Amino acid sequence: MLPKATARCLVQRAFSSFSNATEMGLSEQHTAFQSMVREFAQEELRPIADELDSKKKFPREQVKKMGQLGLMGVEINKDLGGAGLDGLSYTIAMEEISRACGGTGTIMTAHNSIFMGPINKFGTDQQKKKILPNFVTGERVGCFMLSEPGNGSDAGAASTLAVYKDDHYKITGTKAWITNSWESSGGSLFATTDRKAKHKGISCFYIPFPSDGLSLGNKESKMGIRCTSTANVIFDDCQIPSENLIGESGQGFKIAMQILDAGRIPIAAQGVGIAADALQRALDYVMKKPVISQNDEELLAEMEVMVTTARLLTYRAARMKDEGKPIGKIAAMAKLYGSEVATSVSHKAIQLMGEDGLIKGGGVERNYRDARITEIYEGTSEIQKVVIAGHMKKEYRNKYTNGQ
Ligand SMILES: Cc1cc2nc3c(=O)[nH]c(=O)nc-3n(C[C@H](O)[C@H](O)[C@H](O)COP(=O)(O)OP(=O)(O)OC[C@H]3O[C@@H](n4cnc5c(N)ncnc54)[C@H](O)[C@@H]3O)c2cc1C
């Protein structure tokens, strides 16, 4: 790890070229929060990100520290031990953490948005008090179990069954690609309670880890975000009490869709963070060259416009969420653009740096690999386009044809 003074100097230098607090119109409070997260991320996460990636190592100590900083319960109320902050703060934090380490960004968002989100938004007061305080300190993480082998995009086709008997549910089936699964102490599960009702027969449950009848598959070997575990979670007559039902029976698909809508904003921020780091590395590289070519300048300018535009769109989405406005369309737009920018900017950074960009441990190569997943999870880019076009058609009909 870098000495503190050197690291702080690097942090200041790194952001002198695109400090975004003013251009993004952040309040004093948001700016102070951004500085706090940035300092932690740049000092304690960025220096070890390549090692976490190459060793596929979960950043346990850093996640604990993130808990102490309020980053493992950003939007959870203070009376439950959370930081009680707004969606814009969460977005800012996701950008800063992902800028330092894309994989740690994934751990944070899987835990905050999609594991705790269903319980925080749809759980009873009693469920929230019982579950959430255990998960805000960084000592424990959680996971979100929706996808199954063969039905990632088609979440309504859940074949995992939860059968009610004697005040319990017995769960059988396999959930696939579950982030944080190996480190989880709990998870939000979506399983079918009424097969005939199709997606209206899906329900949401809180599952404590470990549980009898619950086992984990092998960790997937992934292209990027390699410090996260991704594995099947297998339920074989796993019995949980009926009090673990989150929301009403049959409400699970609606819960999942609402949680995924909101969860797209932090993924957009993850894309912005990964792209911003790639851009910074490319800028550092160019500024050390004896001669800066026109091609260097053009690539840098293109990257700067893309990162800033993606950030503006992402912050706009977060602000709309905080204002209680509908976010389905803007969140999908931010996610679509933020993830494409992550891939494109890290690609351009490698192009600009040539062979230096391809070297393992150089950061940009990892950025490129970490970026790719942001176009897949929480809805692929194609699904975001389906969502956006759906909103456009609805808006058109409402405006020009009286909703017909
Ligand atoms: C690293 C990683 C971590 C993950 N973490 C989690 C997790 O924690 N929890 C969880 O539940 N899931 C998780 N997932 C699963 C993820 O959400 C799915 O991979 C994603 O939804 C896509 O599903 P799929 O892979 O089955 O692709 P498919 O749905 O099979 O899609 C394949 C292709 O077809 C396209 N396509 C599919 N349907 C349509 C359509 N209607 N219109 C246009 N194009 C379409 C897709 O866009 C894609 O290009 C994770 C996945 C990965 C890779």
CA atoms within 13 A on the CB side of 249: 13
Q: Select from 39, 94, 24, 3 the least CA-distant residue to 319.
A: 24
pLDDT at 11: 44
pLDDT at 20: 66
377 lines ligand 1 (CB under 6 A): yes
Nearest CA to ligand 1 atom 23: 152
Cα–Cα distance, 201 to 126 (Å, whole number): 24
Give the pLDDT means over successive 10-residue stretches in the chain (404 positions).
44 46 88 97 98 98 98 98 98 98 98 98 98 98 96 84 97 98 98 94 98 98 98 98 98 97 98 98 97 97 98 98 98 98 98 94 95 97 98 96 78
Distance 379 CA to ligand 1 centre (A): 6
Distance 255 CA to ligand 1 centre (A): 18
Whether 69 and 41 have beta carbons less than 8 Å apart is answered as no
Cα–Cα distance, 168 to 123 (Å, whole number): 18
pLDDT at 396: 96
36 lines ligand 1 (CB under 6 A): no
| 3-state class (DSSP) for residue 35 | helix
229 lines ligand 1 (CB under 6 A): no
Q: Which domains does the chain have, with CATH numbers?
A: 4-135 (1.10.540.10), 141-252 (2.40.110.10), 262-398 (1.20.140.10)
Q: For this structure, is 378 an active site residue?
A: yes
Q: Select from 85, 102, 84, 83 the least CA-distant residue to 94.
A: 102
pLDDT at 200: 95
259 lines ligand 1 (CB under 6 A): no
Atom of ligand 1 nearest to the CA of 154: 29
pLDDT at 88: 98
The single-letter DSSP state of residue 18 is: -
Which among 75, 96, 378, 395 is annotated as catalytic?
Answer: 378
| 3-state class (DSSP) for residue 202 | strand
SS3 content of the chain, % helix, strand, coil (to 5): 60, 15, 25
Sign, CA dihedral 257-263-265-268, equals: negative
Nearest CA to ligand 1 atom 4: 177
Distance 81 CA to ligand 1 centre (A): 33
Q: Where are the strands (E) in 101-195, listed by range?
A: 141-145, 161-165, 168-179, 184-192
Cα–Cα distance, 7 to 127 (Å, whole number): 42
Q: Select from 53, 285, 369, 90 the least CA-distant residue to 82.
A: 90
Distance 152 CA to ligand 1 centre (A): 4
Q: Could you give the C-alpha distances from 216 to 137, 182, 243, 297, in angstroms and in order?
A: 24, 7, 24, 49
Whether 146 and 152 have beta carbons less than 8 Å apart is answered as no
Residue 119 tokens read as 């319980």
376 lines ligand 1 (CB under 6 A): yes
Cα–Cα distance, 10 to 1 (Å, whole number): 13
Cα–Cα distance, 389 to 376 (Å, whole number): 18
Atom of ligand 1 nearest to the CA of 143: 8
